[in-house]
Amino acid sequence: MNNLKKVGLRIDVDTLRGTKYGVLNLLEILNNYQIKATFFFTVGPDNMGRHFWRLFKPKFLIKMLRINPIKTYGWSILRCGLIGKSKKIGDACKNHIILAARKHEIGLHAWDHFEWQNSIDTWRKENIINQITLGKKFLESIINSPILCFAAPGWRTSDSALQVQKKFNFSYNSDVRGIKPFFPLLSDKSCGNLQIPVTLPTFDEVINNHTTLKKYNNFIINQMKKQSDYSVYTIHAEIEGIKYLKEFKELLYLAKNEGIQFCRLNQLIEKNHANFPICKLIRKKISGREGWIMHQNV
């Protein structure tokens, strides 16, 4: 067991459809493989259909054409927030979230995923506090337990957000991309919460860009094996939990045969907490994703 390579498995749940259908599918598979992961839930209004207007941005349009959004996400996601009143995900899917909390680590992803991802760079601290407070209190009321971790939607955050998050007693955040756990250096020279960055690309960034669907699992397994010390992999309930469920099952089978053991993110920081470095953050553009993300500066 000691020779197994640990890879943190982060599951982002962005939408009503992902929570209602994808989460249950993933829970069954993870149980079959005796894997415990970290689920980051969005619990407020599902406004993801408003990403429609981003289709006028060439890079986002190219990404959508690569992954076929109707087949991948379904019509229900694509119209959320565009047609009719947005449903609160937490109200509609309380039992799904409670089921996930029985065996897995639960964190907050967002109150309103769309609003955070598209507005965080202009929000004042009051907006950020309100969004986190709404989401955290609601999620805690559902699982009847403290929420101790947070992951910013779309890996987008700001100095103000990192300052604010220190008030919420999170054990760690997973807001950025990077190579290893670290404390972010903020503008006032203080440090933000410990960050557990995502180190690997996501399915939607890579497919029909760096590799094909048929070759994807081998591609991502090889990427995991190259990262000898530390790895975090993100999947989405809307993608791997529904349309590409079969491919995700195959990935877990391959990973097991390659000596890769998926785990909760908090298991990656059980030791050497005081030895994690302090690093600056930079905005960065990465292949396969429209716009900027926040990245550990190394």
Q: Please tell me the distance from the alpha carbon of residue 77 to that of residue 46, in angstroms, as a whole number.
A: 8
Helix, strand, coil abundance in the chain, percent, nearest 5: 45, 20, 35
* pTM > 0.75: yes
What is the signed CA dihedral for 134, 139, 141, 142, rounded to 10 degrees? 140
Low-confidence ranges of the chain (pLDDT < 50): 1, 50-56, 61, 81
Angle of helix 94-103 versus helix 125-143 axis, rounded to 10? 80
User: In this structure, is residue 167 part of a structural domain?
Assistant: yes
User: In this structure, is residue 100 part of a structural domain?
Assistant: yes
DSSP character for 52? G
User: In this structure, is residue 66 part of a structural domain?
Assistant: no
H helices of 184-279, in order, are 203-206, 216-226, 245-257
Q: Please tell me the distance from the alpha carbon of residue 217 to that of residue 215, in angstroms, as a whole number.
A: 6
Tokens of 178: 């990077």
Q: How far is CA 142 from CA 102, 106, 218, 245, in A?
A: 12, 11, 38, 26
Nearest to 152 by CA among 298, 9, 297, 10: 10
Strands 105-110 and 38-42: parallel
User: In this structure, is residue 194 part of a structural domain?
Assistant: yes
User: In this structure, is residue 125 part of a structural domain?
Assistant: yes
What residues make up the domain containing 162? Answer: 5-47+86-296
User: In this structure, is residue 79 part of a structural domain?
Assistant: no
pLDDT at 81: 45
User: In this structure, is residue 72 part of a structural domain?
Assistant: no
In CATH, what number is assigned to the domain containing residue 96?
3.20.20.370
User: In this structure, is residue 58 part of a structural domain?
Assistant: no
pLDDT at 55: 43
Domain count of the fold of the chain: 1
pLDDT in tens, 158-209: 999 999 999 999 999 999 999 999 999 999 999 999 999 999 999 999 998 8
Tokens of 212: 């094909």
